[in-house]
Chains A and B, each alone.
Chain A
Amino acid sequence: MREILSIHVGQCGNQIADRFWRLILREHGLTDQGTPKEGSSASSNANMEVFFHKIRDGKYIPRAVLVDLEPGVIARIESGDMSQLFDESSIVRKIPGAANNWARGYHVEGERVIDQVMNVIDNAVEKTKGLQGFLMTHSIGGGSGSGLGSLILERLRQAYPKKKIFTFSVAPSPVISDSAVEPYNAILTLQRILDHADGAVILDNEALFRIAKAKLHRAPNYMDLNHIVALIMSSVTASLRFPGRLNTDLNEFVTNLVPFPGNHFFTASFAPMRAPGQEGQVRSNFPDLARETFSQDNFTAAIDWQQGVYLAASALFRGDIKQKDVDENMASIRKELNFASYMPSAGGLKLGVAETAPEGFATSGLALVNHTGIAAVFERLVSQFDIMFDNHAYTHWYEAAGVSRDMMASARDSIANLAKSYRDAS
């Protein structure tokens, strides 16, 4: 089998884990404790082993490692509905937290736990027959998900040089900031994602908030935002979990979506976006679904659509959808998408169809795209970084925790170059 190991790091990473595994369990007809629901056939036609490890009594255990430097979120998962789901030995929780400081997550606190984390990961990998790679969920603006997440990425790449590493990375939003040092944390983490990951889906809280607000018709909370992330993750991984033809493994994702080395930062869109519990009430026809899937304000990062072009894109439609509908409608949508001039006109957009829709949905659409406008996300962070860095704001916290100004400057230059390489690819 081609198993995938999910690694959830930090508060945000584990909150997403909570939502993500909830969805995945339902899609595979499992209870919150990982046992097959009576009369459910959902597990029969799925590649269960990719995301679950089956133990003797017929229970399925997620191939997941939960790591946090603050125990709160994990404690809540363990005391909630899914209390029996995760393997106790795959959870690493420590105090005192990284205090919003990448350097503490990477050096001070990270070094204390990294051996244990890698041990847990190695043990989980040993339970696989043919691991294809890793998924990491984390935020890049905080301390644990960013700093410890970066350290884990480095060690993963060292220990498993041939395996694919994908991240779902929550980026600081342009308007709402969670902490003063987000630009530093984000730039330092992006450098590690650039160097050590094969692909990263960038999700920004601001965009998620905007989408949630527009679609839920009420003020969204973090749970809603994490739910959107979970829906996207579920659909990105659907092609790995259910039989199909497109993007059936992580290698194929990389081949289809990454035209130049290093340009592996994606943004995603999920449709139809509905308030939880109301998914089934609206049954959209395919043209509407396809249009919403590729609507610019449905994407989860602050992309510069005007200046940029599509480098690559793939779409997955799930549920009761006819191939004929897809072929007819997508031809016109493809024409509207502004692809880079040097991309083959028909080749840039890959389409797939899967029978199983997410729980509660009749049909759904997912777009995963590599668009050069993502440079805007990096440019904004670099410019915030510069203003603070040049004025020595907050750098003492990093130096005190073993991250020199040179190290920070080199991360900054990597990401400025990354932005430039995206702009040059336009």
Chain B
Amino acid sequence: MKVNNTIVISIGQAGNQIAASFWKTLCQEHGIDPLSGSIAPGSNPRGNWSSFFSQLGESGSGSFVPRSVMVDLEPSVIEHVKSTSGSLFNPANLISRQEGAGGNFAVGYSGAGREVLPEVMNRVTYEIDKCDNVGGIIVIHSTGGGTGSGFGSLLIESIKEKYPEAPVLSCAVLPSPQVSSVVTEPYNTVFALNCLRRTADACLIFDNEALFELAHRKWNIESPTVDDLNLLITEALAGITASMRFSGFLTVEISLRELLTNLVPQPSLHFLMCAFAPLTPPDRSKFEEMGVEDMIKSLFDNGSVFAACSPMEGRFLSTAVLYRGIMEDKPLADASLAAMREKLPLTYWIPTAFKIGYVEQSGISHRKSMVLLANNTEIARVLDRICHNFDKLWQRKAFANWYLNEGMNEEQIVALRASAQELIQSYQVAEESGAKAKSQDESVTASRAYGGGDDPRRTSSVSLRDLVDRR
């Protein structure tokens, strides 16, 4: 059966580490050997494998190849992937350089990044040409390092220029001082945000600050490492893509484009956060199982979202919940989700934004699991934290010389910082508008103002209309 194909591009150290563990999980879920891409003789991979894997030849004989392109400006992580993944990946799609980006956005965006771009675009084009239909491109990168932020931005821009129709989802790992290695992370992140805001179709935030806390509190790890955080991200990514890889019960795949249609109410409001349940420690998941009601409670709990903020204090613009492996509990899950919905701070001008997907196939570590994808105005708080750290450094122009030396100028830097502020503001405006008009809306519904005329709602929306034009 032909399905939509998704290509995963991973960039930089964090991006490729996550991608390596993501592809291993996908192989396991589809029954493909993660070291050779082959399957047991006489069998077929599970589910709609062709959404994320391609196969040489028409049937049977060939092995299954991840639709993956991995790029790094330094060699170590790519070398590690090569040495630990056997013959799973096409070696031509594992691209690295020697010199690194030195934790500098400008090197990844214009210096070494420009130089490697043609080769990478070549491989991306090759993968796109192999697709029956490009359902989407997922870019996994961190915004803290130089490669993930700089080259990530450059590549997303190049892809959208060449393939404007293909939906691009950036999965961006935001830095946290807790697990940081680069002091210039706030600069890199703010610079990358401009591209993610203007060019990507959506950006799913994985905030290391929150992930560190989750690994510490829920997984009981004294001092979590990057590997632990990447495992959390892998679980969420596997859950989010499950609906693209397996058919649901009566509903068929939910494509990336369909998710975006539901989650992005306005072009500029496309920064998403996610949560995963159950957050049982990996070594206990075989013995302990969470009920669906508790899972739903935990999804919406301020302490379990993968971003350091409190969604229940902000406002939900749109929401998607994806179940896995809980067919028999679906009515119960629907009922508790409906009850939960009543308690959520929703946005009055988006009355129906609640998408539910379900996939029968369980994940690897949990028989039953759920993912929440939310467009919530509290993301502004996360971005604000980054900007605050940026401002502290920029006040004294600390480390600014690295960027100025690579050809950026102060004006540019100020403009990029302002762009991040605009993004924060658009979410703040959305939060205010979602709340203040609620009573107004009720009165309108009650009086059923029909046939146009003096509609009080039209006045309240001025600021939002401005926002749309601003992009």
Contact = CB atoms under 8 A, between A and B. Distances in A.
B348 interface: yes
A392 B352 contact: no
Contacts of B257: 96-97, 99, 101
Interface stretch (B22-30, B140-148, B261-269, B389-397): B261-269
B230 interface: no
Contacts of A101: 257, 261
B433 A95 contact: no
B266 A179 contact: no
B352 A219 contact: no
Contact of B1 (A71, A177, A180): A71
Contacts of B468: 392, 396
B83 interface: no
A180 B455 contact: no
Given A96-B255, A181-B261, A75 B1 contact: yes
Given A15-B250, A391-B349, A396-B468, A181 B4 contact: no
A297 interface: no
B260, B265, B355, B444 — most chain A CB neighbours (10 Å): B265
Interface residues of A, number: 47
A99 B252 contact: no
Interface residues of B, number: 53
Contact of B261 (A70, A72, A179): A179
A100 B352 contact: no
B260 A99 contact: yes
A179 to B, nearest CB: 5
A172 B100 CA distance: 53
B258 A393 contact: no
A181 B133 contact: no
Contacts of A383: 444-445, 448
Interface string A376-392: 00010011101110111
* Chain B facing A: main interface SS: loop
A160 interface: no
Contacts of A175: 338
A386 B461 CA distance: 12
Interface in B325-377: 330-331, 334, 338, 348-356
A100, A179, A396 — most chain B CB neighbours (10 Å): A179
Nearest to B445: A383
Interface in A362-385: 379, 382-384
A384 B250 contact: no
B250, B352, B464 — most chain A CB neighbours (10 Å): B352
A396 B262 contact: no
B350 A180 contact: yes
B318 interface: yes
Contacts of B3: 71, 95
A420 B451 contact: yes
A100 B262 contact: yes
Contact of A95 (B2, B258, B354, B450): B2
Contact of B265 (A177, A180, A221, A417): A180
B253 interface: yes
Given A96-B257, A416-B450, A223 B250 contact: yes
Contacts of B455: 386, 390
Given A179-B261, A180-B318, A416-B451, A97 B349 contact: no
A222 interface: yes
A392 B465 contact: yes
Given A70-B252, A97-B258, A419-B450, A388 B350 contact: yes
Nearest to B2: A95
A412 to B, nearest CB: 9
Given A15-B250, A176-B338, 7 more contacts: A70-B252, A72-B253, A178-B356, A181-B261, A182-B352, A223-B250, A416-B450
Which 10 A/B pairs are nearest by Cβ-Cβ distance?
A: A72-B252, A219-B331, A180-B353, A99-B257, A391-B349, A177-B352, A99-B258, A393-B265, A96-B133, A180-B262
30 contacts: A15-B250, A72-B252, A72-B253, A75-B1, A95-B4, A95-B132, A96-B4, A96-B135, A97-B4, A99-B258, A101-B257, A143-B258, A177-B354, A178-B355, A180-B263, A180-B318, A180-B352, A383-B444, A387-B350, A387-B351, A388-B351, A390-B455, A391-B349, A392-B266, A392-B461, A392-B464, A393-B265, A394-B265, A394-B266, A397-B264
